[in-house]
Structure 1
Amino acid sequence: MTRKLLAVTALTTLGFAAAFAGQARAADAQRGNFGTMPDGRDVPAVTLTNGRGVSATVIALGASLQALKMPDKAGKVADVQIGYDTLEGYLAKPEFFGATVGRVANRIAKGRFTIDGKNYKTPTNDGPNSLHGGGKGFDKVLWDVVDVKSGPVSSVTLRYVSPDGDMGYPGTLTTFATYSLDERNQLMIEYRATTDKPTYVNISNHAYWNLAGVGSPRGAMGHLVTIPAERYTPTDATAIPTGQHAPVAGTVFDFRTPRAIGDRVRDARDRQIAFGRGYDHNWVIGDAVTPTTHLMARVFEPVSGRGYELWSNQPGLQFYSGNFFNGTITGKNGQIYRMGDAIVMEPQLFPDAPNQPNFPSVRLNPGQTYKNTMVYKLIIQR
């Protein structure tokens, strides 16, 4: 497999745009509408399409990746993002499908944190903890579409202004989410945010991948995963990190060479697997945000020949193996989503970082710009 992977290079945001400035105009961005909110507001949708059979649809609710279609090794195009066909599903049972999650992605223990000696509380929505920004995080609000571009790189940029006190977080936070698609089958998602008061920020994307295609009975457990990390952060029974960095060597968390997810995802002899009902952990890729992107993971589905390499500037990768799908959600094409039908790879800072002094800081001050860049380098092995 590795001999046939696409060539990879680290890209900064400016370098990403400049790399394609001289290419022919081929990628396209088309505006549409995904439905109407209960209060009467329209939900814009923008579909980015390139000349190689790849398209990505982004909806303004949650600045979410609603669909990503790509061909397999035989040229058959399929959607590789599980979610819903209509707005009603995202409103009734959202499940973070493809969504932008924040202000603080992942978990905060008991929803409590302190900034400059002042205590704050964000709503708990995951047992005793706060998850992905609280009960009404960035995934559940309607973003504004502020820019749509066709050209060598097609893109859509969305904006959300989170007011001071939103979900208990201090400061007015202005966030931009940009999705871009180019002719080399690279999908980039970039988040930028600024604040007018010290606050905590950790924004990521919660795309659910099934490279076999939505509706495939194979699910995602046969996907081969590589994560170039020698450490991960163990958790307690409520998925809050203990603060330790544990070696992956000799454990079910060792993905330094390609392994099928299903090989060890049910091995409850490891307490960590029992806690999460599978993988729902943070892998330590680095110790700080970096100026350029670096490899976070490779994911490959051998039957279809579809895959991707994920690059980001973030130090942590939350890998979730879809452990809590229990057949109660009916999604695209009337498919019932079951345990292991899709996986999530979230580049981010570490879980519960506001309460973990040894973890990279998620603090954002006025005058600073938060940035999370993610590049999905799509693979079609023919």
Structure 2
Amino acid sequence: MHIKERLFGKTAGKEVMAITLTNRSGASITAMTYGASLLEWSVPDKAGKFDNITLAFDNLEDYVTHRPFYGATVGRVAGRVAHGSFEIDGDPYQLETNQETNHLHGGNSGLDTKVWDYQTEQDDQEARIIFSYLDAEGSNRYPGNLKIQVTYTFTEDNKWKINYQAETDAPTLFNPTNHVYFNLHGTVSKTILDHQLFVDADRFVELNEQSIPTGRRPDVAGPPFDFRTARLTSQATESTHPQTLQVSGLDHPFVLNHDANRLDVSLYDPQSGRKITMKTSEPVVVIFMHNGASPLKIANNPIPAYAGITLETQDYPDAINQAHFGSIVLRPGETYRSETTYSFHIE
């Protein structure tokens, strides 16, 4: 394994570093300290041509100015909190409402907008970037000082592992995710509508008109939500289902079955032969298809609708306000831990 570090830019007087981990096959990941964000996953296609299979900009300014969430560590709470309000032990809290009347992706200055500390480690089979950040009490109106560690591990067999760990000094909420967008073509000049998606989920989470969970978890049977057999992602854009029409595709949590004998998710591009598989400790994966075009460009290419697809592993969105969605409350003396592994293959 090889580790390379370079200056990616500066923001608010702080240096932002980009760290690249490269294995013996020449595949690599690059992540930066701004938002503990993945900048690149460079892998070959079936002809041996290397490309970045994630959406990313080549400059810091676009991340700071436009906040695209590309590859970012998102939180404290990923997704939406209805009206930004919740209770812990009967005490009410009011978060920032930064999308209509709701709280989205941690607020206006969520974890994706912070410059994280980091260190690196390596051995013969893998290398790691260990990001750390102390999110102070009152940040985006969250209670508790939250000490967070996010570790990116890259292996000789082309796995990218994300491990989260966190501790708090007061009861608070924590439900992070990584907001990586995949496009296995390696260019936004082609969309992901010809990618084949498999999701081992029998149910998805229904959303209201503001993309807040209704509390219902319908069966996925029938298009456009049934990906228990690999199907084109385009089935979600061609459907007349009111849930997909509402968001012009997918922006939905899928409730994973977590069968030990099956993958949780896979994404495959027959044209390039590239395939990503995923396993996670988290109960849901939020699949979002970049349902609108962006005014920005990547490598001088306009970013169209459906330029990428996310596989955001996390606990249920708005779980704090849904009685049967489980708990995302982290308390003093507890340690939050979760792991997600993305694996790259050629078929």
Using structure 1 for the length normalisation, give the TM-score: 0.88
Unmatched runs of 5 consecutive residues or more in structure 2? none
Structure 2 distance, partners of 1:90, 1:104, is 20
Structure 2 distance, partners of 1:145, 1:271, is 44
Give the equivalent residue in structure 1 for 2:2.
28
CA contact (8 A) 1:295 1:312 kept: no
1:267-295: CA deviations, max 9, x gaps?
A: 2x2110122221000001159xx9x9973
Write out aligned runs for 1:35-54 (5 A). 35-37=9-11, 39-54=12-27
CA RMSD in angstroms, aligned pairs only:
1.6
Structure 1 distance, partners of 2:75, 2:64, is 18
Residue 359 to residue 293, structure 1, CA distance change in 2 (3 Å): farther
Give the equivalent residue in structure 1 for 2:69.
96
Give the equivalent residue in structure 2 for 1:67.
40
Residue 264 to residue 147, structure 1, CA distance change in 2 (3 Å): closer
- Structure 2 residue matching 1:308: 3-state secondary structure: strand
Structure 2 residue 339 is the aligned partner of structure 1 residue 373: yes
Give the equivalent residue in structure 2 for 1:4.
none
Unmatched runs of 5 consecutive residues or more in structure 1? 1-26
Give the equivalent residue in structure 1 for 2:278.
310
Count of aligned pairs between the two proteins: 347
Q: Which amino acid aligns with 1:270?
A: H
In terms of mean alpha carbon deviation, does 293-302 or 65-74 score higher? 293-302
Structure 2 distance, partners of 1:307, 1:142, is 31
CA offset at residue 131 of structure 1? 1.1
Give the equivalent residue in structure 2 for 1:10.
none
The partner residue of 1:360 within 326, 333, 337 is 326
Structure 2 distance, partners of 1:40, 1:293, is 49
Give the equivalent residue in structure 1 for 2:218.
246
Q: Which amino acid aligns with 1:33?
A: L
- Structure 2 residue matching 1:247: 3-state secondary structure: coil
Structure 2 distance, partners of 1:128, 1:53, is 46
1:120-177: CA deviations, max 9, x gaps?
A: 1111222221111111110011101133435321111010100111111111100001
Structure 2 distance, partners of 1:150, 1:167, is 38
Structure 2 distance, partners of 1:173, 1:152, is 32
CA contact (8 A) 2:197 2:266 kept: yes
CA contact (8 A) 2:126 2:154 kept: yes
Q: Which amino acid aligns with 2:214?
A: T
Write out aligned runs for 1:197-346 (5 A). 197-215=170-188, 217-267=189-239, 269-286=240-257, 295-324=263-292, 326-331=293-298, 333-346=299-312
- Structure 2 residue matching 1:295: 3-state secondary structure: coil
Report the identity percentage.
Answer: 35
Structure 2 distance, partners of 1:379, 1:346, is 20
CA contact (8 A) 2:200 2:257 kept: no
CA contact (8 A) 1:187 1:375 kept: yes
Structure 2 distance, partners of 1:343, 1:293, is 25
CA contact (8 A) 1:294 1:312 kept: no
1:158-212: CA deviations, max 9, x gaps?
A: 1010011111111110000111111111111111111111111001100011000
1:207-266: CA deviations, max 9, x gaps?
A: 011000024x32111110000000011010100111011000123100000011013324
CA contact (8 A) 1:200 1:363 kept: yes
Q: Which amino acid aligns with 2:27?
A: V
CA contact (8 A) 1:286 1:316 kept: no
Using structure 2 for the length normalisation, give the TM-score: 0.96
Structure 2 distance, partners of 1:186, 1:62, is 21
CA contact (8 A) 2:202 2:257 kept: no
Q: Which amino acid aligns with 2:247?
A: G
Structure 2 distance, partners of 1:294, 1:139, is 32
- Structure 1 residue matching 2:311: 3-state secondary structure: strand
Structure 2 distance, partners of 1:202, 1:223, is 28
Write out aligned runs for 1:157-172 (5 A). 157-172=130-145
Structure 2 distance, partners of 1:294, 1:116, is 38
Write out aligned runs for 1:109-188 (5 A). 109-149=82-122, 151-188=124-161
Residue 240 to residue 343, structure 1, CA distance change in 2 (3 Å): same
